Structure 1
Amino acid sequence: MLLHDYLRILRRGWWIIAGLAILGAAAGYGLSTLVTPTYAARATVVVSTLGAATPADLQQGNVFAMQRASTYAQLATSAAVLDRVADDLGGDVDVDDLRAQVTAAAREETAIIDVFVNGEDPDVAADVANAVATTLAQEAGQLDAPGAGTSPVQISLIEPAVAPEVAVSPQPRSNTLIGLLLGALVGIVVLVVRNAVDTRIRTLGDLPDTPGLATLTSIPLARTRGGRPGSGTDGRVEAFRTLRANLQFGSQIGGALAVAPVTADSKALSIATELASALGEIGYRVLVLDVDFRAREPRAKGRRHADDAEALGVADVLAGSVGAAEATRPGSSDNVFHLGAGRLVDGSAQLLSTSKMSELLAEAKDAYDHVLIACPPLVERSEASVICTMADSTLVVVQAGATTRSSFLFGLELLAGVRVASASVAVDNVRGIDVTAGRWQSLTTD
């Protein structure tokens, strides 16, 4: 996958990323409110030497003090210091607990030592920090005193600890931000994994890159008002007008156009009828041929009465029992006419692959400006690809959210196997706005 493919995935699933990011932020903030706050108190001491009589002695003393500072910092957490601190504080103070709370570090290239104490009570933390600093000064003096003499080193408390007002943990802002970022990251991973596992086509951008195939438009779900189709400004109507323009621009309309769904999820007759209406509104005479016998077999078989004029259609014309003009009926739109599937009998589907079907198409093209053939599904009925070879061009219809990439590619292989001369594709029932609509490739197949 290329960068633009990942960007398309993120753009399409932005609401998942946003939702998980919000949940992550809420979780981070919620956990922060459940954790007991911890406060950090700091006491600062400085190491110095005594008895410097000359500048050289002072310089040597400063170097010695800086060297000893790191040693005294480690002494702050030793048992010698913490035992005395525990005794001074009284109560049930445990030395091991103190060792877990106390840290000390010498500042780089200085003789200054910071003593830190963490605790749940800010006042207690400050008292412990001051006690450790005071005890450290006493223990350090004894450590460097020669025999019973006076120590040349002195530790002075230069900044006593005060009770902190702000807890060092938890940090609600930081935790909320971390939760937000982690939630967004999880959302991105979910989208990428879902895209890898779910191979259904939802927009034109989901179509596999197929050289030689024109991707014309996406058709949104029909918007209804009170259970009836929307007005002429409905996005679906405009999509068919766009499809009409794209087909005209690509010289793929005129004569016979096979509307071939990849699977049974797409309704070829509905697509052909709506496209016919778009052509009819600009003055073209259009005939819609319904040759999807599979979709009509359960209810059409048995309609064999000659006086049932409404049942006459393609099957009757191919059987020679009626002429095409007699079986054709006006459509619901101006300039649009329909020749239905007709009365089906055993073997009707086989007639679609005969010369009689070619003769019917030739007669229809002479009588109408455009002939739209509603075909059965490509991957389910072999006669679909045969009909596509008889047509001047083919419009492959993909059902958004239902047709998989593998089914789509298999349908194209079937068309390539019968050497279909010209093909394009449209995605039907796209939810929302398809920002990938209008992506073009070359207009003819090899």
Structure 2
Amino acid sequence: MPYAEYIRALRAGWWLAVLGALLGAGLATAVVMASTPLYETNTRLFVSTVGTDDLATAVQGSQFSQERVASYAQLLESRDLMATVIDRLDLATTPDELQSQIEATVVPETVLLDVTVTDPEPERALAITSSVADEFGELVTRLETPEDATTSPVRIAVVASPELPTEPSSPRTARDVPLGAALGLLAGMGAAVLRGRRDTAVKDDDATATAVGAPVIGDIVTDAQLAEAHVMRPYDTSRVAEGFRQVRANLQFLRVDQPPRVILVSSPLAGEGKSTLTVNLALALSETGLSVTLVEADLRRPRAARYLGRVTGVGLTNILSGTADLDDVLQPHGDGRLQVLASGPKAPNPGELLSSEAMSQVLAQLRTRSDVVLVDGPPLLPVADAVGLASRVDGVVICARFGKTPREALESSREVLDRVGASVLGAVLTMVPPRARTTGAYAYGYSDDPPDRPRSAHRSGSRAGRRAAAADGSAPETAVAASGVDGPPSADDGRTATAGTGDGRPVASAERPQSTSRAAEDEETADRP
């Protein structure tokens, strides 16, 4: 898995890392709250032999102590010593339980023994540690004293006395909670990476371009109105409309010397928005004054003509079967710059029809009639209908749905097109969430300036204007102009000013409808005290 994919997986699954950190911190907090505080005391014992002036004897005594000290560590945790300490302190415990509270370790290559005692009560921990040190010294003296001697050659001395603990050794809230959060964070990051390896759906331009082998020429954000109507409004300035225009602009400059004129729009699988993309791309191209023909070549599930409100009963299959001519079934849309060739009646052999010589002739005729021909084709992987069609166009635009289309499906689609020698112009990501990082500059929004609002002085002046209009029968706008108040007319005044006689001439004040003067008289009456 490349490094970039790890970063992408962590970025996509950031919430798993956060959730893991929160769960880890919460679990650690719960464990800390449920745990019994334990206090720890320590002491250090020094093992030596009885002093002598002979150097050789001293060296032998030191070696003897080092050899013995490992055995003494085991002796410190013996049941006999535990029983003696219990009797001395009158503890309500068993030797096995007390043995689990004591730990003896040997400092390497020394004659030192470290003893650690853990207990829920700090005073009892101190008492046990002191008692263990005293009783252990007596036990060693008793064991190491020869039968014919009165003193032991081994002496146990306390070199680090135990102290009363003031803070518990466990649990440590300041340590355990951050440690739990860190472990949870690592677990969440691991889950995010695992999820990223299993989830191969494309979610950014780089992964899409790599899978397709061509640049991403546009991102279409999710839009509730587009999902319902499937067609953008004329000269719309919304983000989704600008996304289609971005596709249009990039498509026109892909091949400057020989721009593609017959373009197939397809997708690896069904339900990825290819028909919506084709329809709105055709509308965006026609906005620039180009003549565009939209061919509905998805003969199994036609959608494009229905989205545009065109007749779907006649169209491409009639031409391919020889029952109609092109002029008979072409349907204009809007101002006529966009022509729609619907799919027509359903055929039992759509794959054969689309790969036939008759289809090549239809595309050749449309090429001579239109500046751009957009073909809404079937998906590439479920059926073979688009394979024969792809080799008859100038290029293919692959549509992929954000977060749904698998990367493997895009790679397979590219392989299918490569086998028939089709040229992939680019890819378009559809249904992109508005907050996704791939949505580009229009994620911030950019539209026309809002209209200027009238100032309050104009509003107060328009009442005087209405009164003057009621007195002399003139229009309210004339009175406003006469009042000398600067500023644009209100929305109602603007509608009245643009009224006409039917032949394009503005209506004079004497020709205006009587309802306007009557409304002014009613408002004047309402203003009177």
Q: TM-score per shorter chain, which class?
A: 0.7 to 0.9
Q: Secondary structure at the match of 2:270?
A: coil
In the alignment, which residue of structure 2 is the partner of 1:133? Answer: 133
- Equivalent pair of 1:314/1:339 in contact (CA under 8 Å): no
Cα distance, 1:171 vs. partner? Answer: 3.4
In the alignment, which residue of structure 1 is the partner of 2:38? Answer: 38
1:167 equivalenced with 2:168 (yes/no):
yes
1:309-337 deviation per Cα after TM superposition (whole angstroms, max 9, x unaligned): 78654445555545448733224xx8851
Taking a change above 3 Å as real, the CA distance of residues 380 and 253 of structure 1, as seen in their structure-2 partners, is farther
In the alignment, which residue of structure 1 is the partner of 2:260? Answer: 254
Q: How far apart are the structure 1 equivalents of 2:152 and 2:16?
A: 68
Q: How far apart are the structure 1 equivalents of 2:198 and 2:47?
A: 66
Q: Which runs of 5+ in 1 are unaligned?
A: 301-307, 438-446
Give the letter aligned to residue 262 of structure 1. Answer: P
In the alignment, which residue of structure 2 is the partner of 1:3? Answer: 3
- Equivalent pair of 2:219/2:430 in contact (CA under 8 Å): yes
In the alignment, which residue of structure 1 is the partner of 2:276? Answer: 270
Cα distance, 1:395 vs. partner? Answer: 0.9
1:418 equivalenced with 2:393 (yes/no):
no
Tell me which of the two structures has the higher relative contact order, counting C-alpha pairs closer than 8 angstroms and 6 or more residues apart: 1
Give the letter aligned to residue 23 of structure 1. Answer: L
1:389 equivalenced with 2:395 (yes/no):
no
In the alignment, which residue of structure 1 is the partner of 2:436? Answer: 433
Cα distance, 1:381 vs. partner? Answer: 4.2
Comparing 423-432 and 385-394, the one that deviates more: 423-432
Q: How far apart are the structure 2 equivalents of 1:103 and 1:63?
A: 24
1:244 equivalenced with 2:242 (yes/no):
no
In the alignment, which residue of structure 2 is the partner of 1:305? Answer: none
- Equivalent pair of 1:204/1:434 in contact (CA under 8 Å): no
Taking a change above 3 Å as real, the CA distance of residues 91 and 407 of structure 1, as seen in their structure-2 partners, is closer
Q: Secondary structure at the match of 1:219?
A: strand
Where in structure 2 are the equivalents of 1:277-296 lying within 5 Å?
Answer: 277-296=283-302
1:229-264 deviation per Cα after TM superposition (whole angstroms, max 9, x unaligned): 799665444443443344334318431111112222
In the alignment, which residue of structure 2 is the partner of 1:442? Answer: none
TM-score norm. by structure 2 comes to: 0.68
RMSD (CA atoms): 3.9
Taking a change above 3 Å as real, the CA distance of residues 123 and 187 of structure 1, as seen in their structure-2 partners, is same
Give the letter aligned to residue 327 of structure 1. Answer: L
- Equivalent pair of 1:66/1:109 in contact (CA under 8 Å): yes
Where in structure 2 are the equivalents of 1:4-403 lying within 5 Å?
Answer: 4-52=4-52, 68-146=68-146, 147-207=148-208, 213-217=213-217, 219-224=219-224, 234-251=238-255, 253-296=259-302, 313-315=315-317, 319=322, 321=324, 323-324=326-327, 327-331=330-334, 337-341=338-342, 343-344=344-345, 346=347, 349=350, 351-403=353-405
In the alignment, which residue of structure 2 is the partner of 1:441? Answer: none
- Max Rg structure: 2
Give the letter aligned to residue 285 of structure 1. Answer: S
- Equivalent pair of 1:203/1:430 in contact (CA under 8 Å): no
Q: Secondary structure at the match of 1:140?
A: helix
In the alignment, which residue of structure 2 is the partner of 1:444? Answer: none
Give the letter aligned to residue 190 of structure 1. Answer: A
Q: How far apart are the structure 2 equivalents of 1:35 and 1:385?
A: 68
Q: Secondary structure at the match of 1:271?
A: helix
Taking a change above 3 Å as real, the CA distance of residues 271 and 224 of structure 1, as seen in their structure-2 partners, is same
Q: How far apart are the structure 2 equivalents of 1:191 and 1:369?
A: 48
Q: How far apart are the structure 1 equivalents of 2:171 and 2:236?
A: 59
- Equivalent pair of 2:209/2:216 in contact (CA under 8 Å): no
Cα distance, 1:88 vs. partner? Answer: 0.4
1:157-180 deviation per Cα after TM superposition (whole angstroms, max 9, x unaligned): 343323322223333444434433
- Equivalent pair of 1:118/1:125 in contact (CA under 8 Å): yes
Comparing 251-260 and 239-248, the one that deviates more: 239-248
Taking a change above 3 Å as real, the CA distance of residues 98 and 293 of structure 1, as seen in their structure-2 partners, is same
Aligned residues: 427
